[in-house]
Every structure is written in C-alpha cells, then in structure tokens.
Structure 1
Amino acid sequence: MPLSRKKSLLLACAFGFSGPLILAGTGAAEAHVKWFCAYDVAGQPQGLEQVLCLNFEWLTGLALLCLMFGCLAEGTPLGGALLNALDRVTTRIRTDTELLVRATLGFFLVSLFDLGGIILTPELKTDVAWIPWFQLALAGCLIWRRTMPITGLGLVFLFSYATAQYGLFHLADYPIFLGIAVYLIAKGLDLTLFDIRPLDIVRWAAAITLMWASIEKWAYPEWSAPLLAAKPQMTMGATPELFMQAAGVIEFTLAFALIWTPLVRRCAAIILAAIFVSAIFEFGKVDAIGHSGIIVVLLAIAADDVRVPVRVRQALLAPAWYGAALATFLALYYVGHAVLFGGLNTMPVI
C-alpha cells in the first residue's frame, strides 16, 4: 500500500474516533450545504461503486466498533454512572423540554418572518407574500399550550406546500419538521399515539433526517467543494474526498445511534448538538436559524432519562441493524432518484 494511502487510512481512523469532538471543539463543522452552495437535486449522483470504496469500508467498520463498544459499556457500572451523571446535569432541560421546544421554534418562525421569502429552510425560496405572515402567526400560537396544535398543523401544511413546489425528493431532507409537528400536536392535546411518547416520534424523525443527509454527502460531495476550498482547515489535512466520506459515516452513525440504546443515543445527541452549535460560529446567522429546531430536539434527547435493560445481544446485533439501515437508505436515495429524475435505465448497480 502506498505511503499516502496508509496516511489517509490512519487519518480516517483517527477522524472516526475523534472527529465529532474535534469539530465540536474547534468549530470546523459542516453547514447544510444547500444553504450556502449551488446544488442540483436532479443531477446524477456519484456511483455506488465510488461510494462503497475501501476507505468507506474502513470507516464503517470503525464506526461499528465504536457503536458496539458503547452498547457493551452501557450495561456496566461505568455505563450506569454515566447515565446517572447525565440525569443530574440535564435535569433542568428535562423538566422544561416542552418550553424549550416552544421557545426555540418561536425564535425560528419569527426569524423566518424577519428574513422573508423562505419556506421553513433557507434554500426553499418563495415570493408568496403571505408565507412570512403565516409563519409569524404560527409563532404566536406557541405562546399558549392550547394553540400549539395549530402550529403543528401549520408546519404540516408548510411542509406539504414546499413539497408541491420543490418535489418530494428535496423535502426528504426535512422529516424533522413533521416530527416536531406531531410533537406539538400530541403535547398540546395531551395525546399518546399507540403508547409512543411524542419525544420518541421526534427522535426518530431526527434520526431519519440525519441519515438521509449523510447519504447526500456521499452522493454529491462536489456540492461541498466551494465550502472546503474557502475553509480548508475543515479537512484537517485530509483530502476533500476522504473528508466527505468520513463526515458522512460519522453523521450516519450518530444518527443511527439516536434510535439505539439510552446511553448511546444520549451521547450521540450531545455530540451532534455540539457539531451543529460549532457550525454556527463558522457559518453565522443563517445556520443558527436553520439548525435551531434540530438542536433543541437533540438537547431533549440528551436529557431523556428513560432507561431500558441493555443486553449483550444488542451490541452483537448492532452491525446487522446498522447494515440494514445503511442499505435501506442507500437504496431509497439512489433508487428514488433514478425513478424520479433519471428513469429506470439509470438504476444504480453495485
């Protein structure tokens, strides 16, 4: 193996273990690329034979080891001590979760009104004059608990309206809004859907959102090229190709962790929240507004003190479930893109 390739793989391994913490600590984090760079959703994505390369396999294997280690540690006295510590540190967030969600979403919707010409996220532009006022009205409905469901229904309407304007594939980036909408409706009406907590619904929505976004990093790494060229320190010496592969694997793994065992998902939520917060220092007001909703959801997940018995088999089953999730999202992304934009003749081949 050439020396440069060995160096790349070693860097990938180091990035896999420490990358999220480095990003959170130094501010070298990624913004949502569609908010800052040119993109073409209908463009041909990078082939699966390029995505599923040796570096990708090494990074994925390392991510699985970290995930399994977290599962095994959770059932030990150390894991119990960490959960107890998290419970103590996040008490205030846990008791005021609903208030934090309402306040943050209110800030988000008022900010959209102030910016104007935006449907939910910065790249979804509109010249419809009533949209900003509608979003301001939804913010007002968050003041009272009884009117929270109106905001939830309004978010569903805006998501549907944006889907009609920009297409289902584009809005597949943002199921987090539907999760938040269900949370607001269920909390406002004191509903429990099929014995599933509202927080668990929004947690799954956040996980799906981030897993889908990670596929985009592999499918369209060229979208981030202008950002990496403007901020080369983000790559920490790695090639842009390796950095995007590692960033996608880290994001997918942390997103998958949000639907795994309590300690694993709480730690993943903390790391993800730190990454998003650090990105604000790099990319400013637009990033702060756009990511405010998911940041408060991640804080709520980190503060969630629900515990379940964790067994060794959950660590052993982690690779199978992770692999199934990875294969499912790759298939949905590539097959969905081929059907919607390229026709069946462009169906991906491994």
Structure 2
Amino acid sequence: MRTLASLAAPPLLLLAGTGSASAHVKWFCAYDVAGQPRGLEQVLCADFEWLTVLALACLMFGCLAEGTPLGGALLNALDRVTARIRTDTELLVRATLGFFLVSLWELGGIILTPELKTDVAWIPWLQLAMAACLIWRRTMPITGLGLVFLFSFATAQYGLFHLADYPIFLGIAVYLIAQGLGFKPFDIRSLDLVRWTAAITLMWASIEKWAYPDWTAPLIAAKPQMTMGATPELFMQAAGVIEFSLAFALIWTPLVRRTSAIILAAIFVSAIVEFGKVDAIGHSGIIVVLLAIAADDARATVRVRDAAWAPAYYGGALAAFLALYYLGHEVLFDTAVGQGDWPVI
C-alpha cells in the first residue's frame, strides 16, 4: 500500500490538471448514460480512501482557520477585493446569461447544453427571446420560467438521470424569478439557493468521473499532459475527489465556500483555455455563479464544533450521492450495481 506521503503529492499537482477534467466530458466524447457504471468495489479502493482523507483534512483545516484572527483578516480582504462583483452581482448574472442564451441561439439545435441536441426549430428563438427579457429587471422572471421549461423539455427528451447533471439551471431560474419579483422564497436568499444547486450539480458530476472514467479516456489520450504524470486511473480518482470536495465546500462555512468558489472558477476558466468556445459557452453560467459566491459577504460564527462535524457531513454527503447515483441508475436503467452486490463499507 502506498504511504500517505506518496499520495499527498499527486492531488496537489493534479489540481492544476483538474481544469481539463472539468470540461464536461459529454460535450467532447462519446458517452452512454444507460451503460453499466464501474462497480463500487472498484471505486472505493485504497487510493480513493486516502484521497478522501486528505480532502477532508483540508476542509477541516480551513474551517478551523476561519475562526481565528487570520480567518477574519482573509474574509475582510476578500470583501474588499470582491466589492464591485458583490455590488453588480445581478447585473453580471444577467449579462452572462444573456451571452449564454444568445450563443445558444447562434449555434442552434441545442437545449441549454452542447450535448442536448434538438431539431425543434423554435427552441433557438425561444432562447433569444429569453436573452432579450434579461434587459429589463421586470421581465427577468420570464427568462427564469423559460429555463424551467427548457429543463423540463430536455428531461422529457433525454431522461431525468441525464438532466441530474444540471440542477444549477433551476437554481438560476429561481434566482431570476426571485430577484425580478423582489421576494425571498421560503425566506432564503436567492443567492443561497443558487449556491446549493451549484454544489449539487458539481457533486453529482464528480460521481460520474468515478462511475465512468472511460468516457474521459479519449481526452487523456489526446492531452496526456493533463494527468501531470499520474496514471489515468489515479488522475480520474483525484479529479473526482477534488471536484466533490470543492463542491461540498460550497455549502460549508463562509471563508471555506468563498475559497472553494475561487478555486472552482479558476479551474473552469483554465478548462476554457484547453477546450475553447464550446466550453466557454457551456460553463459561463456556473462561472458567474461561482464569482457571486466568492463575493458574498454574508458572515456566520464559526466554532470548533463546525470542524468536528465536517467528517460526518462530508461522509454523509458522499454516501448519499453515491447511493443516489448507483441506485438511481439501477432503477431507471435496470442494471446491476457492480457485480451484483454492494460492497461492505
């Protein structure tokens, strides 16, 4: 078995290469959602466990640091640096989403994301009309309702399991409706709702990296430098753990989630350098959401017990998403999990 030291270096180095892995593989490679996912007994291996422990240690360290004077100083610095983004968050969301929708209209034949193809001629024009509605604050809710409609339309065409990749669109829809009408759904800030859907989106996507690592094989073959010298197997495990951990951090304490949002935004932007226009259009929405999270100056009292509870919440989230993914796939596609038996955890 590898030592902890030998496993500590790859995740740190692979963080730089995770940008390539964060390019949505379904946009660039062949995939089969109904295909048999890799068995859990293969996913939950020794490397996976060490990587998870390292990620959890980083999460706990960040949480503990937040309650110190250093943590307060870092939050104050973030507040100053991101002041303009915070002031103009709504404007940035509207402008970016307008760019996104106009780009979909220009490309044509796409429902929300590049792999969701359609021959319905009026879909691009609906997306252009939705972009126009973002010009005025009062018509923002129309765009939000349009996103809900397109999400539902795509679900009917491609199935619920496929669209489980994209709940962030529903979060953005709620944000636009709430901001346009000036109310708090369930007395929750609209930005917090978007933050939760962004976290769910990325945690679900990370499971896919473990369940279907072969989907990314053509990308690794074409760009072997993205693995930073690690084996493809270790790279995909690390990419999934990093993405899941950063996504989970989005629902944790203020400094932790803001730091996570900055790292994730940098990862997505670096993926654009590798994969170009399609990736820029497809990920523009989540990038602007991550910038809004990074600029959010909401504070909360952080105690030692928050760090102490981190393993339980993190482990619970990991177990829940693995169970939802594998059981959901088995129910919807009538496939056996792994070799037919769930591993003992």
Scaled by the length of structure 1, the TM-score of the pair is: 0.95
Residue in structure 2 matching 1:77, options 61, 66, 69: 69
Q: In 1, Cα distance between the equivalents of 2:296 and 2:247? A: 16
**What residue number does 1:333 align with?**
325
8 Å contact from structure 2 (residues 167, 200) kept in 1:
yes
Q: In 2, Cα distance between the equivalents of 1:266 and 1:232? A: 31
Residue in structure 2 matching 1:208, options 200, 203, 225: 200
Instruction: Show CA shifts across 1:171-193 (max 9, x none).
Output: 00000000000000000000111
**What residue number does 2:117 align with?**
125
CA gap of 1:311–1:18, structure 2 versus 1, over 3 A, is farther
How do residues 156-175 of structure 1 correspond to structure 2 at under 5 angstroms?
156-175=148-167
**What residue number does 1:14 align with?**
9
Q: Which runs of 5+ in 1 are unaligned?
A: none
Shift of 1:30: 3.2
How do residues 24-63 of structure 1 correspond to structure 2 at under 5 angstroms?
28=20, 30-63=22-55
8 Å contact from structure 1 (residues 47, 348) kept in 2:
no
**What residue number does 1:313 align with?**
305
Shift of 1:342: 1.8
CA gap of 1:348–1:154, structure 2 versus 1, over 3 A, is farther
Which letter maps to 1:349?
Answer: W
Scaled by the length of structure 2, the TM-score of the pair is: 0.96
8 Å contact from structure 1 (residues 108, 292) kept in 2:
yes
8 Å contact from structure 2 (residues 109, 119) kept in 1:
yes
8 Å contact from structure 1 (residues 29, 275) kept in 2:
no
Residue in structure 2 matching 1:255, options 234, 241, 247: 247
8 Å contact from structure 2 (residues 40, 337) kept in 1:
no
Shift of 1:194: 1.8
Number of residue-to-residue matches in the alignment: 342
Which letter maps to 2:9?
Answer: A
1:154 aligns with 2:149: no
CA gap of 1:10–1:34, structure 2 versus 1, over 3 A, is farther
Q: In 2, Cα distance between the equivalents of 1:13 and 1:98? A: 39
Shift of 1:80: 0.4
Shift of 1:23: 4.0
8 Å contact from structure 1 (residues 13, 62) kept in 2:
yes
CA gap of 1:142–1:239, structure 2 versus 1, over 3 A, is same
Shift of 1:344: 6.7
Q: In 2, Cα distance between the equivalents of 1:145 and 1:35? A: 32
Q: Which runs of 5+ in 2 are unaligned?
A: none
CA RMSD of aligned residues (A): 1.5
Residue in structure 2 matching 1:349, options 339, 342, 345: 342
Q: Alignment identity in percent? A: 82
8 Å contact from structure 1 (residues 87, 303) kept in 2:
yes
3-state SS in 2 of match to 1:57 = helix
Which letter maps to 2:135?
Answer: I
**What residue number does 1:143 align with?**
135
Q: In 2, Cα distance between the equivalents of 1:262 and 1:38? A: 38
**What residue number does 1:96 align with?**
88
Q: In 1, Cα distance between the equivalents of 2:301 and 2:204? A: 29
Shift of 1:14: 1.8
3-state SS in 2 of match to 1:309 = coil
Which letter maps to 1:265?
Answer: R
Q: In 1, Cα distance between the equivalents of 2:5 and 2:220? A: 21
Instruction: Show CA shifts across 1:274-296 (max 9, x none).
Output: 00000000000000000000000
Q: In 1, Cα distance between the equivalents of 2:220 and 2:316? A: 31
Shift of 1:232: 0.4
Which letter maps to 2:342?
Answer: V
Instruction: Show CA shifts across 1:133-165 (max 9, x none).
Output: 000000000000000000000000000000000
3-state SS in 2 of match to 1:278 = helix
8 Å contact from structure 1 (residues 48, 349) kept in 2:
yes
**What residue number does 2:173 align with?**
181
